[in-house]
Amino acid sequence: MSEAAHAHPGLHHQFDSYEQQRQSASLGMWAFLVNEVMFFGGMFLAYAYYRHRYGHEFAAGSHSLDISLGAFNTAVLIGSSLTMALAVRAAQMGRNKAIVAFLIATMVLGSVFLGVKVIEYSDKFEHHHVPGPSFVWHDEAGSGKYAGADPFKIQIYFSLYFAMTGFHALHMIVGIGIMLLMLRPAWKGKWNLDNHNFVEGFGLYWHFVDIVWIFLFPLLYLIGRS
C-alpha cells in the first residue's frame, strides 16, 4: 500500500479512481446476479415443464397453501426492499447512523419473513405434505374440487415448492448474515460519498432476492384461484 492508498481512503490499489472502482463493483454485482438468475432459472424451467404436464395437481397443491400468509410475506419483503433502498441512500450521503438503522430494519423484516416461512413449513410437516415416504394427501382444502389429482404428482409440486422457497430462504439467510457483518463498518463510518459500493452492491442483491419472491408468490400460491 503506497501513499496513494492513504491519500484516497477506501480506494483499492488496483484501481486508478473511485469512478473506476464504482463501475467495476457495480458491473461485478450485475454479472453475479446474472449467474443467480440462471441458478433460479433451472428451477423455473422445471416448474414450467411440470406445471404444463400436471396442471391439475399443481392447482391442488397450491390450494393447500395459506394465501394470506403468502400475501403478508410479500408485503413484508417489499417493505424490506424499501428499507434497503433507504440504507443505500443513507450510505451515498454518508449518514452512518441512518445506514445502521435501515440495515436493522431490513434485517427485522427479513427475519419476520423467515419466521412466517417457518410457520408455513411446519404446517406442511404436520399435514404430511412433505415429499417422501410419509407423504399423505387428503383433499380438504379443495373440498372435492381436486378429486382426480394424483398424489404422486402432487409431490412434484411440493418438491418444487420446497426447493424454490428453500433456496430463496437460503439467499435471505445469507443476506441477513452479510447485513450483520455490515453493521460495524457502517457505524464506524466506512461508507461515505466516495466509497459506498459495498452497500450499493448488497442492495442489488437484496432487491434480486425480493424479485425472486415476486415471481414465486403467484407461481406457487395463486394457481387456479380466480
Partner 1 sequence: METTLPTAELPERHYLNQGQGIASWLLTKDHKRIAIMYLLGVTFFFLLGGIMAMLIRLELLTPQGDLLEPDTYNRVFTMHGVFMVFFVLLPVVPAILGNFLIPIMIGAKDLAFPKINLLSWYLYMIGGGLTMYAMVRGGVDTGWTFYTPFSSTYSNTHVMATAIGVFINGFSGILTGVNFIVTIHRMRAPGLTWFRLPLFVWGHYATSLIQVLGTPVVAIAIALVGLERLFHLGIFDASRGGDPVLFQHLFWFYSHPAVYIMVLPPMGVISELVAAFSRKPVFGYRIVAYSSIGIAVLGFLVWGHHMFVSGQSVYASVVFSVLTMLVAIPSAIKVFNWSSTLYRGSVSYETPMLYALAFLGLFLIGGLTGVMLATLGFDVYVHDTYFVVAHFHYVMVGGAIVSFLGGLHYWWPKMFGRMYPVFWSKLSALLVFVGFNLTFFPQFIVGYLGMPRRYWQYPAEFQVWNVLSTAGASVLAIGFLLPGCYLLWSLKYGKVAGPNPWGALGLEWTIPSPPPTENFDGVPVVKGEPYDYQTGEEIFGILGKEAHVV
Binding site for partner 1 (CB under 8 A): 12-16, 20, 23-24, 27-28, 31-32, 34-36, 38-43, 45-46, 49-50, 53-54, 57, 130-133, 150, 152-153, 155-156, 159-160, 162-163, 166-167
- Nearest approach in angstroms of CB 178 to partner 1 is 14
d(CA 177, CA 200): 16
Nearer to partner 1, 32 or 72 (CB): 32
- The burial class, CB within 10 Å (0-12 / 13-18 / 19+), for 146 is buried
What 3-state class would DSSP assign to 136? coil
Whether the CA torsion 194, 196, 198, 201 is positive or negative: it is negative
- Nearest approach in angstroms of CB 149 to partner 1 is 11
Nearer to partner 1, 29 or 76 (CB): 29
- Nearest approach in angstroms of CB 148 to partner 1 is 14
d(CA 189, CA 2): 22
Nearer to partner 1, 72 or 135 (CB): 135
Closest among 78, 76, 83 to 115, alpha carbons compared = 76
Nearer to partner 1, 161 or 213 (CB): 161
Nearer to partner 1, 19 or 67 (CB): 19
Write out the three cell numbers for 15. 484501481
- Nearest approach in angstroms of CB 14 to partner 1 is 4
d(CA 165, CA 23): 32
Write out the three cell numbers for 157. 409440486
Q: DSSP label at 131? A: S
Contact status, residue 176 vs residue 209, Cβ threshold 8 Å: no
- Nearest approach in angstroms of CB 151 to partner 1 is 9
- Nearest approach in angstroms of CB 135 to partner 1 is 8
Nearer to partner 1, 65 or 156 (CB): 156
